[in-house]
Amino acid sequence: MTDVIESLEIDRWSGPFSAELQHKALAALEAGRVVFCPRLAFAVKDEEAKLLSSDFATGKAKNISLDPAKGQVSGTAASSHEEHLRAMMERFARSSNQLVTDLFPGYLEGIELARTSYRPVEIVGRQSSPRKDDRLLHVDAFPSRPTRGRRILRVFSNINPTGKARIWHVGEPFEDFARKYVGAVRRPFPLEPSLLAALGITKGKRSAYDQIMLGLHDKGKLDPRYQKEAPQTEFGFPPDTTWLCFTDQVLHAAISGQFALEQTFHVDIAAMARPEQSPLRVLERITGQALV
Ligand code: SIN
Ligand code: FE
């Protein structure tokens, strides 16, 4: 496989991991590569098997998430399955948390567990506007959730029971992408960040960094020529494998696949081994301005 993927021989969710493995994983992650663990499967229990059926995967179940603070599952009408759903998602959250803390001990002081999501709907045929279409190359940036420079780290497991891989396209280095669009991104009006926060449209104030990241996200997705011509590598993550990456840095598009679990973490730039590789620092270098 090409240099966008770093394949590691990890086969359990908890350490101890060797210093060499930790170093390899950290260097790859922070350089904007996908850390792929082909031998790390997330085990679904017998009683949870019905969550992996097309009966369950209706439109209503499209975006199932678990808020770790509230312990509540949202976005599903399948209340009869809620107990098993919560159990599976909580187990995935715990496993991912263990993996990330044992693999990246340097992050311990600056990492926060965020949402868990379950994605039971086939990506092909999903209807959405281009801005929300994750089949298009993008870096993650969310209109309602400013990060003010904190990283978005995500762990994914393919739990498809019928042998189907989850296909991604992985694009060019973040800096190359950013340089194409940063000059065209609109800057916020003076009172805009305060107003959006006061109205509850954003959770806290949007920084200049967040504004630029949203702009890059939208401009890339809305540019058919970029989507067609940008360098990209196709990669299929088979069932019973796990991968992780900084999705605010790795250009990615989810092309096809069904039944995946995802766990989000936020990481402080100060906890990184090489903060200069973060999107915030890259954008500050390009623009010559402080952005948070
Ligand atoms: C995304 O983050 O764009 C979607 C990834 C996936 O569901 O595989
Ligand atoms: Fe994404």
- Distance (angstroms) between ligand 2 centre and the Cα of 62 equals 15
Q: What is the rounded average pLDDT of the residues 255-275?
A: 98
Q: Of all atoms in ligand 1, which is nearest to the CA of residue 138?
A: 3
- Distance (angstroms) between ligand 2 centre and the Cα of 275 equals 21
pLDDT at position 188, please?
Answer: 87
Q: Is ligand 1 within 6 A of the CB of residue 251?
A: no
Q: Which of 73-77, 123-127, 255-259 has the lowest mean pLDDT?
A: 73-77
CB of 8 closer than 8 Å to CB of 24: yes
State both tokens at 275.
Answer: 């903060």
pLDDT digits (tens, 9 = 90+) for 146-187: 999 999 999 999 999 999 999 999 999 999 999 999 999 988
Q: 0.75 cut: is pTM over it?
A: yes
Q: What is the rounded average pLDDT of the residues 267-283?
A: 98
Q: Tell me the pLDDT of the chain averaged across its residues.
A: 94
pLDDT at position 74, please?
Answer: 81
117 contacts: CB under 8 Å, gap ≥ 6: 63, 64, 65, 66, 261, 262, 263, 264
Q: What is the rounded average pLDDT of the residues 191-204?
A: 93
d(C-alpha 216, C-alpha 218), whole Å = 5
Is the per-residue pLDDT at 18 higher than 90? yes
pLDDT at position 204, please?
Answer: 92
187 contacts: CB under 8 Å, gap ≥ 6: 208, 211
pLDDT digits (tens, 9 = 90+) for 133-142: 999 999 999 9
Q: What is the rounded average pLDDT of the residues 62-75?
A: 82
pLDDT at position 126, please?
Answer: 83
Q: How many CA atoms lie within 13 A of 251 on its CB side?
A: 25
Percent of the chain clearing pLDDT 70 (strictly above)? 96
Q: Of all atoms in ligand 1, which is nearest to the CA of residue 252?
A: 3
